[in-house]
Amino acid sequence: MAALRVAPARPAPVRPAPARAPPRRSACSSCSASIQLDSSSPPRSCHFRNARSAISSLDGAAGCAAAAAFVARDLPTAVTRFGDRRGRGAEVGFADDLAGDFAVGAFEVRVDDFFDAFPARRPSARAARAPDSLFVRFFATDSSCAEAYRLTRCRAAAVRLRAVRLDSARQAALGLLCVGFEGDALDERTASLLRDGTAGVVLFARNFVDRAQVASLCADIRGAAAGRAVIIAVDHEGGRVQRFRGTGFTDLPSARSAGSAGDAAAVRRIAEIAARELRAVGITMDFAPVLDVDSNPANPVIGDRSYSTEPRVVAELGAEFIDALQSNGIAACGKHFPGHGDTVLDSHLDLPRLPHDRARLDAVELPPFRAAIAAGVASIMTAHVVFEALDPGVPATMSRAVIDGLLRRELGFDGVIVSDDLDMKAIADRFEVGEAAVRATDAGCDLLLCCRSQANRDRALEALGKGIVDGLLDRSRVEQSLARVAALAARYQSP
């Protein structure tokens, strides 16, 4: 069995600039496949700390997991990490004074060689077979610059090693986040996130002084995004959940008040007023309407935010609100899927659980969401509620069965799926926020809300980026979410 080999760094002078040499080629000792080590590629400027790197395009052959070449400049230490898909692994590497020089390290590894080198990681005889894929991460110990490669056990004549840059993974992670901030002016940390590509922001009463101020704030948010379409969202339901009040904003009635007569035309007028006033200041998305059925008088959080105790009325009026809002240039967001109306706990403070069987859900909770989808709702927000009949013990926001299975596949919703705020105690008191962010994305959420804690926002961003690099999040799934979010932002972009 061939052992894991790590070639030492081989520095070569940078000045005078050498003539462009043809790519060197090496062979995998396990399968004699010819591997190109393209050290002549020009360095690319990294997003972080001006570190530079160039990585070759690599092919392997049957029996060979992968091989890679790493070219780095101005990095005092380079390390290679080998691990499995869950991030378990070990590190080997080389260190040298690379200032002003190029150093080339060639790395070759087979799946079995990995376990020979690190026997503690080898599965027991009774355990599952060795993983079908490993990852290799190249990084500098003093820099965020990195390259990560997916290593797949060969099943065909050839495999390709696919690169994921950490800076691109961070940018993708930013595109999954919609964040909140404190104060009535855009702070530098949030502005930096917008410059780097975060999907958008959520505004609250804490961000509002008056109509002129919030219009200026929205303009600053768009300016920080540097011409990129960005989501600027707010909860503007009417009644007790209306963040902007005062001159320039109508005090809208609660959903219960508006829906008590079952007057669809009245609900439409309310939505049109909301859309005009929000769009005038630069808002692009309203987290409304509430599509929960008011089926439990003891519910502490929904109540008069719902149109009715009758699913049919909620469905009809919710669809009317959605159509009017979106026809006037504001993206609607139906909430809270698959239903928060029958809980006795407030998910801001605790994690509600509902025992209802599927027949009950089909009769009461789901009809308003079906109607919203038929009306073309742009987005749907998940509930931090456990539905035992759908996915025992797992909050809907983090449940693949609920999000990908029921909402996406069964109900056929192809718009943006938004998580409720991950800072709410239903999630934050039970899960590390980074884990919650990764699990929600893996379940099918496209846009994650982190509305209050900057520390939680940073942890979610870090975990999402690491999940993309390490393969815990499928990159194609992430790309689908990014495309949905970007399409929504572009469609409702404020003039």
pLDDT for 166: 52
Is 47 an annotated catalytic residue?
A: no
pLDDT for 167: 66
**Spatial separation of the C-alpha atoms in residues 88 and 85, rounded to whole Å:** 7
Question: If 0-12 CB within 10 Å is exposed, 13-18 middle and 19+ buried, where does residue 493 land?
Answer: middle
pLDDT for 320: 98
Residues of the chain short of pLDDT 70, as ranges, are 1-167
**Spatial separation of the C-alpha atoms in residues 253 and 84, rounded to whole Å:** 55
pLDDT for 168: 81
Closest CA to 274 of 235, 218, 314, 319: 235
**Spatial separation of the C-alpha atoms in residues 107 and 63, rounded to whole Å:** 16
Write phi, then psi, for 364 (nearest 5 degrees). -115, -60
The answer to whether the beta carbons of residues 422 and 436 sit under 8 Å apart is yes
pLDDT for 128: 37
Residues 348, 350, 404, 458: which is the catalytic one? 348
Number of C-beta neighbours around residue 230 at 10 A:
24
Biggest CA pair distance of the chain: 83
Question: Per-residue DSSP letters for 232-289?
Answer: EEE-EEETTEES--BTTB--PPPHHHHHTTT-HHHHHHHHHHHHHHHHHHT--EE---
377-433 pLDDT, tens per residue?
A: 999 999 999 999 999 999 999 999 999 999 999 999 999 999 999 999 999 999 999
SS3 at position 209: coil
Is 356 an annotated catalytic residue?
A: no
179-202 pLDDT, tens per residue?
A: 999 999 999 999 999 999 999 999
The answer to whether the beta carbons of residues 58 and 35 sit under 8 Å apart is yes
DSSP 179: E
Give the contacts of 73 (CB within 8 A, at least 6 positions apart).
14, 43, 51, 52, 53, 98, 101, 102
**Spatial separation of the C-alpha atoms in residues 200 and 168, rounded to whole Å:** 18
Percent helix, strand, coil in the chain, to 5, is 35, 25, 40
CATH superfamily, domain 170-491, is Glycoside hydrolase, family 3, N-terminal domain (3.20.20.300)
pLDDT for 78: 33
The answer to whether the beta carbons of residues 28 and 35 sit under 8 Å apart is yes
Compute the radius of gyration of the chain from its Cα atoms. Answer: 26
Residues 292, 420, 421, 446: which is the catalytic one? 420
Tokens of 361: 């859900």
**Spatial separation of the C-alpha atoms in residues 95 and 8, rounded to whole Å:** 9
| Positions of CATH 3.20.20.300 in the chain | 170-491
Output the CA angle 176-464-88, nearest 5 degrees.
160
**Spatial separation of the C-alpha atoms in residues 225 and 196, rounded to whole Å:** 8
**Spatial separation of the C-alpha atoms in residues 44 and 139, rounded to whole Å:** 15
